[in-house]
Amino acid sequence: MYRRKKDHKRGITYSLMLVGDAGTGKTTFANNLLEMGIFPHQYKIEAPKLPENSRVKVVKPTMVLSYNSKNGIPSHMARFDAACEHFEPGVTITSTSMEILTGQEQPSSRSSVSSDSSSMTQNGGVNADKIAFSLVKTHGLGENLDNTLCFDEITAFLEQQFDQVLAEETRIKRNPRFEDTRVHVALYFIPPTGHGLREMDVEMMKRLSRFTNVLPIIARADSFTKDELAKFKKQIMDDIERFSVPVYKFEVDPEEDDFETIEENQALAMLQPFAVMCSDERNDNGQFVRKYPWGEVRVDDDSFSDLRVLKNVLFGSHFQEFKDTTHNFLYENYRAEKLSSVSDWDVDKTGDSTADKRNSAAPSLSNFASLITTGQFKSSNSLAIPPRSDTPTTPDSREISQGTDMDSPGLRQVSQSIRRGNEEIIHNIKSSPRTSAPGSPDKSKLRNISETVPYVLKHERIIAKQQKLEELEAQSARELQKRIHDLEKRAADLKLRERLLRQQHLNGSNTSLSSRNSSTAQVAPVQSKLKKEESVTDLASIVSGRA
């Protein structure tokens, strides 16, 4: 009852993630889904002007949750500039928080979100008056030469949301204002190539599936004829089977499900992957349409687009199902894995905490501290990004504090503050009283876990952040080094050229003197003077950074 009351007041949390290549129509889809023009397109500063949807209210404007780029700049907000096209954009994850009203008595609207509200309640979907909805978007995927950076960042982001819930759950005193930010569904936009899945699609969907329900979506469905679309859908489903991609499937359980659910799920399974067509334009009746030179088509017309069905699945029939699968299956699996990795720590090797070891398989606060100080801390599911072969090995902490030729004051400062925070946590753990609680061993084990896990997770997050910063630092140092090397090389070339010209000039004047050829004597110094000036200008431009 208490929980329901709280849900009623705050709204049921629900989070949807849009993942896919740039230009596949994620922004347009988001605007169509909510029937609002809140999401501006890339490289457009202004959001499209669409009438507001009275049932949707933006609670927190779009903000960057996480980003990673080799240049250290999130590029998705930048104006398009062809001169900067060679920069790799990395990946950026943004989120927009909204409140969606679902109650019957709300002001009427053309919104499908609202028109589906009755089905939400009837189908056992949404039971509260509002949904606290978060729309998470990824930017930059598929735009990098090497997209592994994007895979790692997106997966780490999803894992972090699980970690936050796990840390909160295991805390003795919980935070009543804790916000659950786990992503319940990810829509993966497949570009309309007509050639089945790409390696990148398979890899990304596999990674997402560990942390959320993945629905593959065919973007820009109007690119196909009816037959082509049917073939493409089949190809995608074949690839999903062939490469064992664990996407969400509309399965039926004849023993559990009622007749209606079985029918509905079978129909949805036949339709999968959903093919959507979206647009920012509306006709005179306020319906979203795509206008072509030969006519216009409504985006929610079931004969051309699965948009309406998809909306219904997301906010109606499968709303609760997605939430349940995320929590009961994906999160529970993750939690079991993580906790068992915590209790698997090899305490033997520390050699000094044998008493604790006998009492509990899980580390106590004191042996956790000793594991860290002796460097024997390990977790098979560490959040920390594994060092890549092409990045230099992480510099030792002493190296960092002494300063190397990779100096970058801003990054170093942040890195050092993280390190200080890290040391503080370890210090707190060390100075905490020992927790060998009297009572049953199970109780003490639980207590140990609840005291240790939040620290472990925080520690791992700190390490991950630190590693990311150090990677960025190493990358910028490498680029700087390369630039210095190039400049030095060009400066040496210019010096050589200048010396040659001077020599030529001297030779020329000697010859002119001896041969008394007045015409050569006049032309040669002018030419060499010009060349010399040219070279000096070149050098100046290089020094000023224009080279």
Ligand X SMILES: Nc1nc2c(ncn2[C@@H]2O[C@H](COP(=O)(O)OP(=O)(O)OP(=O)(O)O)[C@@H](O)[C@H]2O)c(=O)[nH]1
**Which residues form the interface with ligand X (CB under 6 A)?**
22-28, 41-42, 139, 220, 222, 277-278
Report, in Å, the least distance between residue 288 CB and ligand X: 10
Nearest CB to ligand X, comparing residues 149 and 277: 277
Nearest CB to ligand X, comparing residues 32 and 422: 32
Peptide bond into 40 cis (omega under 30): no
Report, in Å, the least distance between residue 25 CB and ligand X: 3
Q: Sign of the CA dihedral 490, 492, 496, 499? A: positive
Report, in Å, the least distance between residue 347 CB and ligand X: 48
Nearest CB to ligand X, comparing residues 23 and 72: 23
Nearest CB to ligand X, comparing residues 142 and 454: 142
Nearest CB to ligand X, comparing residues 28 and 466: 28
Nearest CB to ligand X, comparing residues 116 and 280: 280
Report, in Å, the least distance between residue 100 CB and ligand X: 21
Specify whether the CB–CB gap between 95 and 63 falls below 8 A. yes
Report, in Å, the least distance between residue 421 CB and ligand X: 34
Specify whether the CB–CB gap between 94 and 158 falls below 8 A. no
Give the helix/strand (H/E) hosting 489. helix 441-515
> Token pair of 229, please?
């679309």
> Token pair of 471, please?
């990677």
Separation CA 425–CA 419 (nearest Å): 10
Report, in Å, the least distance between residue 41 CB and ligand X: 4
Specify whether the CB–CB gap between 289 and 298 falls below 8 A. yes
Nearest CB to ligand X, comparing residues 219 and 385: 219
Report, in Å, the least distance between residue 315 CB and ligand X: 20
Burial classification of residue 480, based on how many CB atoms lie within 10 Å of its CB (0-12 exposed, 13-18 middle, 19 or more buried): middle
The dihedral region occupied by 457, where left means phi > 0, alpha psi between -120 and 50, and beta the remainder, is alpha
Look-up: residue for tokens 């993630």? Answer: 17
> Token pair of 196, please?
């089945």
Report, in Å, the least distance between residue 482 CB and ligand X: 29
Number of residues assigned to the chain: 547
Separation CA 185–CA 213 (nearest Å): 5
Nearest CB to ligand X, comparing residues 19 and 369: 19
Beta bridge partners of 93: 66, 138
Identify the CA nearest to 215 among candidates 23, 27, 19, 22: 19
Nearest CB to ligand X, comparing residues 37 and 421: 37
Identify the CA nearest to 58 among candidates 111, 14, 114, 98: 98
Position closest to ligand X via CB: 25
Report, in Å, the least distance between residue 218 CB and ligand X: 10
Specify whether the CB–CB gap between 42 and 161 falls below 8 A. no
